[in-house]
Structure 1
Amino acid sequence: VASSPTVDELIASLGSNDCDVVVMDLSLDDGSSVTDNVEKLIAIGSAVLIFSIADKPVLMRAALRSGALAIVPKSQPMSHLAEAIKLAAEGAIINNPETSAMIDADSNFKEANLSAREREVLSLYASGLSLKQVAFQLEIKQSSAKEHIDRVRVKYAKLGREAGTKVDLYRRAIEDGIISGDLL
């Protein structure tokens, strides 16, 4: 059992030790994104549970989309968290009613299935860079950057999630945990 204020510090403290299950809050004080944190933990072979007050549906969706197994609200008895940890350690599917209800009730929980490159281009573009700057940073042609953004817009439009403007793309990127920030 270990505790750490950030995911990076936890990973560093583990060294060569394995960590079967990580229980993590949605928001850490280092400003890191829940998507990055979950992906880093999965990359080292850890199952991830989110233990949170569960008041941020955008972050909960991002955590689940990134591979977190379940959301366990802090309002639940500790026995619920203990059971979720046990199931995660066993590699079992966690059929958590809170997580299922959150997903079922949320019409925005629709996966756009963006490629890694589309996510990368969207992240930079939605963060404020111009297409020219995105292309320069990624060492691709500006026309390629534009094609990626056009495909992203089409994928979101097919899901009924408007993405016609840069502000719309900013909102979608936050909703999907691609970038961190506040919805406008």
Structure 2
Amino acid sequence: MIRVLLADDHWLVRAGFRSVLEGEDDIEVAGEAEDGQAAVSACRELVPDVVLMDIRMPGMDGLEACQVITGDARLAAVKVVILTTFDLDDYVYGALRAGATGFLVKDSGPEELLHAVRVAARGDALISPKVTRRLIAEFAGRAKGPQPDPRLDVLTGREREVMQLVASGLTNDEIAQRLVLSQSTAKTHVSRIMTKLGARDRSQVVVIADESGLISPGRPAQ
């Protein structure tokens, strides 16, 4: 059972999400919060699997709440999905750096919402079709030039290759097909990469790859 916390200052939004989520056998709404501070408190009390977090909320906003949650070792397993709108795209890269697993556009349909929750619960990076990885890479490149990251020095050549593919948005199955590996081997490579980098999930691998220059901003790895 995937336990979800809904964090949004509009009760109609929370009610709409609750209605969709509670219709599924493998998902339950563990609680609700109407601002960032309440979301942090609820996470510490309930330890949900996934938090659907609005960016703009009164008091502590979604980005700050995300940073607090992902920085709390007791909540290491909690995945935060940021709810965004087109006019808030500037927040996307900042949210990744804050530890968000991914993003969901607020006008997404029920199927996208359910997919987002399940993907996040698995620990996979989630980028809504309307918030593409190209946009994230663009903001990464705009922020500053590539910075050498000593964490990459511990990766093997194969792990660097896998990391490039993860940062390009490929799933474990797609990586296995691209590199002619078994699915279990591809999964093992990804797990080792996250462990060596100290990354919470695949989204953090994307951030490190972009900031270190392992892939070029604005275009996927070849």
Query: Do structure 1's residue 66 and structure 2's residue 94 form an aligned pair?
Result: no
Query: Do structure 1's residue 108 and structure 2's residue 142 form an aligned pair?
Result: yes
What secondary structure sits across from 2:33 in the alignment? coil
What secondary structure sits across from 1:27 in the alignment? coil
Bigger proportion of residues as strand: 2
Select which of 6, 31, 41 maps to 2:69: 41
What secondary structure sits across from 2:94 in the alignment? helix
Contact 1:51–1:73 at 8 Å: present in 2 too?
yes
TM-score relative to the length of structure 1: 0.51
Cα distance between partner residues in 1 of 2:114 and 2:43: 22
User: Relative to 1, partners in 2 of residues 1:93 and 1:59: Cα closer, same or farther, differing over 3 Å?
Assistant: closer
Q: How far off is 1:11 after superposition?
A: 3.0
Q: Percent identity?
A: 21
Cα distance between partner residues in 2 of 1:111 and 1:64: 17
TM-score relative to the length of structure 2: 0.44
Q: How far off is 1:19 after superposition?
A: 1.1
Matches within 5 A, 1:118-137: none
Select which of 26, 36, 43 maps to 1:7: 36
What are structure 1's unaligned runs of at least 5 residues? 114-158, 160-184
Aligned CA-pair RMSD: 2.7
User: Relative to 1, partners in 2 of residues 1:109 and 1:21: Cα closer, same or farther, differing over 3 Å?
Assistant: farther
Q: How far off is 1:105 after superposition?
A: 4.1
Q: How far off is 1:110 after superposition?
A: 4.4
User: Relative to 1, partners in 2 of residues 1:16 and 1:33: Cα closer, same or farther, differing over 3 Å?
Assistant: closer
Tell me which amino acid in the other structure corresponds to 1:38: C
Cα distance between partner residues in 1 of 2:61 and 2:94: 9
What are structure 2's unaligned runs of at least 5 residues? 1-28, 148-210, 212-222
Question: Per-residue displacement from partner, 1:134-166 (whole Å, max 9, x unpaired)?
Answer: xxxxxxxxxxxxxxxxxxxxxxxxx9xxxxxxx
